[in-house]
Structure 1
Amino acid sequence: MSAHEPTTAPAGRAPDGPLPTREQRVAAWLAFLALAAGLAYLAAVTLNRLDVLILSVLALSVAVVAAWFAVSRRGTARIVAAVVVVAALVALALALLRSHSIWVLIVGVALASLSAAAARLALRPARHDPAARAGSEVAPAARHGVLIMNPWSGGGKVERFGLEALCRERGIEPIVLVPGSDLLALAEDAVRRGADVIGMAGGDGSQALVASVASRAGIPLVVIPAGTRNHFALDLGLDRADVVGALDAFTDGVDTVIDLAEVNGRVFVNNASMGVYARVVQSDEYRDAKLRTTAAMLPDLLGPGVTPLDLGFLLPTGDRATTAQLVLVSNNPYQLSHLRGAALRPDLDRGVLGVVSVLIEGAADAQRFAALEAAGQVRRFPGWHEWTTTAFEVESSGPVEVGVDGEALTMDAPVRFTIRPGALTVRLPRAALARGKVAPAVHVASAPTLAALWHTALGRPVDR
């Protein structure tokens, strides 16, 4: 069963979750109706336009295979493959336009989106009173709060929102990084000077460094979403658009205890990745020319005859892997039905690492992977493995490139990952906990999701 899918209670035991609200019951029925309408509509269209369907599948298959050759080859082979990709996509577009099937696609996508959105609403975890939520407690106002700020992060959000002046108005000591600043040393110095709450306004890599100091000192961390993506803030329940509102945690906050993960002794709050992506971002040219650098390096990583990446680790089956295009280790598991876009972690206190490895061997595998990825069923790909553990180790004959919370690092092998349960207290503004947990990622056509929706529609509790 996929970890991102809701589960129902085992036979013989009634689910003990909260009763669904009227809004959730209506949403569950709407999800069923939209799904049924979408399936009926597509079935009818398929019978009338089978030729268009066959042509579309062929064009997409050709495009995917050609794209694999375009990214994994050089010279003439790459040029020819790129031309084939464009030609296949043009043929697909013309077929859809000439047969007026573009409306079929639009209607089908709209009904599928409506069903998925309704299912997410129906299965959304219940909201909690901030003072009553498990693992959290109302906190006193900081006596000596300190906020460290990265003025370059997030395109200059620190200056744009006037965080330094706001800190002074609220009695929070501001520390603004300058070129050459040692973030770790500044955080440790703030603790030595009596900080009882420490915060970081910046990206997730900076959050992790300050989190390591807060954890050692036994004081709460305040997360200010002043980075570019702010994945850590999202999983904590913060409104990433409300940078100023996050400051309320210093004066009117709620403490919640979460886990931290470590790789070779370095703390990370989100994830660490190894493989093709981690190798590419090591390049000095990547930051200034991402697409050009990636295109130049991929043939040396994916092309025929290249030496596979030297990454050895145990799979959940007990077999030993010797290579992979991707190895992702996260602080608590992500909800994953695909790799595109942002993934979410519904919990940060389960006391386990989430591990994902992906191995794609050639064009045929790439085609299958792309199809499953598009369908939200990437877990069915034979080269996909996903599991949870409390410790994980990757061996290699030399240094390993690792992307840690967005930072490109090189580490000596073996690369060891561990989880530290309950290692960090995060102080959140009350509004963050009132927002509740993130809604589950759902695949409406899966049996577990359909079962959970049926229980919800009938007003029965569902284990979450």
Structure 2
Amino acid sequence: MAKRADGRPTVTRRVAAAISVAALAAAFAVVVGALIRHPLQLALAVLLLGSVLAAGWAALVRRGFPRVAAATAGVLAAVLLVLPDLHAYALLATAAGLVALSVAAARTALGHHLARTPRIRGVERASAGVLLLNPLSGHGVATTSRLGERARALGIRPIELDFDDDLRELAEQAVTDGADVLGMAGGDGSQAVVADVARRHDLPFVCVPAGTRNHFARDLGLDRDEPADALAAFGKAVERRVDLGVAGDRVFVNNVSLGAYAALVRAPGYRAAKTATVARCLPDLFGPEARRPLSFPGPDGDPAAAADIVLVSNGPYRLERLTGLGSRERLDLGVLGIVTVAVDRARDVPELVAAELCGDIARFPGYRAWSTPEFAVESADPLIDVAVDGEPQRLPSPLRIGVLPGALRVRLPPDAPGASPAAMAPKGVRRALRALLRVLIGRPATGDRR
């Protein structure tokens, strides 16, 4: 995004700030007007929607007659949803649309100007760069983007992973053959393997986002929609140090998931038929007879309450919603981020959905988040179901998870944004409005000229 040399916002950013503030004010006016003119209709619509969600959840996590009864109640509530004046739903939809417009305009207005620049240094072109490619990651992104051909044209040696190859062995062999920079085109699981090899040999690492979600690339500030752009990091680039997580003896770049999600990804048929597998497994994971075998310390060191989902990340996530998993503002804090979620009753579900839709998941009573340098998990079972960077594993209990501060040297293209979505977004509505108003009147968003 273009910016003026004096740090002040461009005309485009000021116009976007005006649109964002105006759209947010209009959304507020619509909601207040609807509450004044249609209070009963809105209250009834919210009550019925909550009933549909609670009954639907109860039907999903139960079997036999209780499932039939809950499903019947949910259908009845859904039918009654049409009773409130449709005008009330139109007003709610209008308010939601205005909020979405405000958020989109705010992103344009603020850009990456709120992000703190990490400590970086300039580095010269790699003389013997090697790029390992996983052609199966991300539904073949490496192949469709012709990453191998593009790498070869830039003087980078591509090594494509075959079905029965060992990725770690290929990376180690590349080091033995004289590689001075190691790169990986694949998902987070593949990134972690090659990053660990680079870390062990103190070599720089290049992340090329060619997986499905590419969380690590996103939080490094890379453009996930243009994986080939990351190849520029093999040329004259910038280098920074980031942390790596370690679960047992496995290094991870993104997170370790335990509990319900980890059990789901290990379930037979999950990859081929996710919806059917989830429906089949939900009663065992969340139903009245569901087990919560995991135990772990809470933020104060005392035993924490049982949870359905436990997420341990390499650096704390900034979570507004559970879907999408948010992003990490920093990758160099030397701590793990811990998130736990517990859904104890069907009536918790409407509150969870409301917090999710409002982008304020921290308000859900079953949600907890904290950070710590190390984390230990024990299970009533000898093996713990985990998903390490999305890859299902079964690891022995107790499982110790830690962080390797500043362990990895990462090279990035000099023109990459270099900041994650969390680093670029203001914390809270008040700070967002303050930054937008500063941009609107022609001042830097942060009050300084970083």
Query: What is the TM-score when the length of structure 1 is the normalising length?
Result: 0.87
Q: What is the DSSP-based 3-state SS (H/G/I as helix, E as strand, rest coil) of the residue aligned with 1:320?
A: coil
- What is the root-mean-square deviation of aligned Cα atoms in Å? 2.6
1:70-89 paired onto structure 2 within 5 Å: 70-89=59-78
Query: 1:20 and 1:76 mapped to 2: Cα distance?
Result: 65
Query: Which of 353, 357, 360 is the matching residue for 1:374?
Result: 357
Query: 2:173 and 2:213 mapped to 1: Cα distance?
Result: 28
Matched, 1:241 2:225: yes
Query: 1:75 and 1:281 mapped to 2: Cα distance?
Result: 25
Question: Offset of 1:127 from its aligned partner?
Answer: 8.4
Matched residue, 2:389: 405
Q: Give the 3 Å change call, closer, same or farther, for CA 172–453 of structure 1 in structure 2.
A: closer
Matched, 1:105 2:89: no
Question: Offset of 1:426 from its aligned partner?
Answer: 1.1
Query: Which of 28, 36, 39 is the matching residue for 1:47?
Result: 36
Matched residue, 1:339: 322
Query: Which of 253, 256, 259 is the matching residue for 1:275?
Result: 259
> 1:258-304: per-residue Cα shift (whole Å, max 9, x none)?
11111112111111111111111111221112111111111112111
Q: What is the DSSP-based 3-state SS (H/G/I as helix, E as strand, rest coil) of the residue aligned with 2:206?
A: strand
- The one-letter amino acid of 1:197's match is V
Would you say the 8 A contact 1:255–1:428 is kept in 2? Answer: yes
Query: 2:185 and 2:167 mapped to 1: Cα distance?
Result: 12
Query: 1:233 and 1:80 mapped to 2: Cα distance?
Result: 46
Deviates more, 1:100-109 or 1:382-391: 100-109
1:152-171 paired onto structure 2 within 5 Å: 152-171=136-155
Matched residue, 1:12: none
Query: Which of 301, 305, 315 is the matching residue for 2:289?
Result: 305
Matched, 1:21 2:9: yes
State, as a whole percentage, how many aligned pairs show the same letter. 44
Aligned length: 439
Q: What is the DSSP-based 3-state SS (H/G/I as helix, E as strand, rest coil) of the residue aligned with 1:229?
A: coil
- The one-letter amino acid of 2:158's match is P
Matched residue, 1:349: 332
Query: 2:7 and 2:158 mapped to 1: Cα distance?
Result: 45
Matched, 1:426 2:423: no
1:198-209 paired onto structure 2 within 5 Å: 198-209=182-193
Q: What is the DSSP-based 3-state SS (H/G/I as helix, E as strand, rest coil) of the residue aligned with 2:226?
A: coil
Question: Offset of 1:305 from its aligned partner?
Answer: 3.1
Question: Offset of 1:73 from its aligned partner?
Answer: 0.3
- The one-letter amino acid of 2:208's match is I
Matched residue, 1:393: 376
Query: 1:235 and 1:351 mapped to 2: Cα distance?
Result: 15
Question: Offset of 1:69 from its aligned partner?
Answer: 0.6
- The one-letter amino acid of 1:404's match is V
- The one-letter amino acid of 1:167's match is A
Query: 1:259 and 1:284 mapped to 2: Cα distance?
Result: 33
Would you say the 8 A contact 1:310–1:396 is kept in 2? Answer: yes
Matched residue, 1:174: 158
- The one-letter amino acid of 1:21's match is P
- The one-letter amino acid of 1:108's match is A
Question: Offset of 1:119 from its aligned partner?
Answer: 3.8
Would you say the 8 A contact 1:310–1:322 is kept in 2? Answer: no
> 1:88-141: per-residue Cα shift (whole Å, max 9, x none)?
34543x346x5333431232112212333344445444289xxx9542222211
Query: 2:8 and 2:299 mapped to 1: Cα distance?
Result: 35
Q: Give the 3 Å change call, closer, same or farther, for CA 30–430 of structure 1 in structure 2.
A: same
Consecutive unaligned residues of structure 2, counting only runs of 5 or more, are 1-5
Consecutive unaligned residues of structure 1, counting only runs of 5 or more, are 1-17
Question: Offset of 1:31 from its aligned partner?
Answer: 3.7
> 1:179-211: per-residue Cα shift (whole Å, max 9, x none)?
211111111111111110111111110000000
Query: 2:230 and 2:7 mapped to 1: Cα distance?
Result: 31
Question: Offset of 1:231 from its aligned partner?
Answer: 1.6
Question: Offset of 1:355 from its aligned partner?
Answer: 0.8
After TM superposition, which residue ranges in structure 1, 4 or more long, deviate above 6 angstroms? Answer: none
Q: What is the DSSP-based 3-state SS (H/G/I as helix, E as strand, rest coil) of the residue aligned with 1:292?
A: helix
Would you say the 8 A contact 1:208–1:267 is kept in 2? Answer: yes
Matched, 1:256 2:240: yes
Query: Which of 98, 120, 123 is the matching residue for 1:136?
Result: 120
Q: Give the 3 Å change call, closer, same or farther, for CA 74–442 of structure 1 in structure 2.
A: farther
Q: What is the DSSP-based 3-state SS (H/G/I as helix, E as strand, rest coil) of the residue aligned with 1:354?
A: strand
Would you say the 8 A contact 2:61–2:284 is kept in 1? Answer: yes
Q: Give the 3 Å change call, closer, same or farther, for CA 34–164 of structure 1 in structure 2.
A: closer
Would you say the 8 A contact 1:127–1:436 is kept in 2? Answer: no
Query: What is the TM-score when the length of structure 2 is the normalising length?
Result: 0.89
Query: 1:142 and 1:443 mapped to 2: Cα distance?
Result: 38
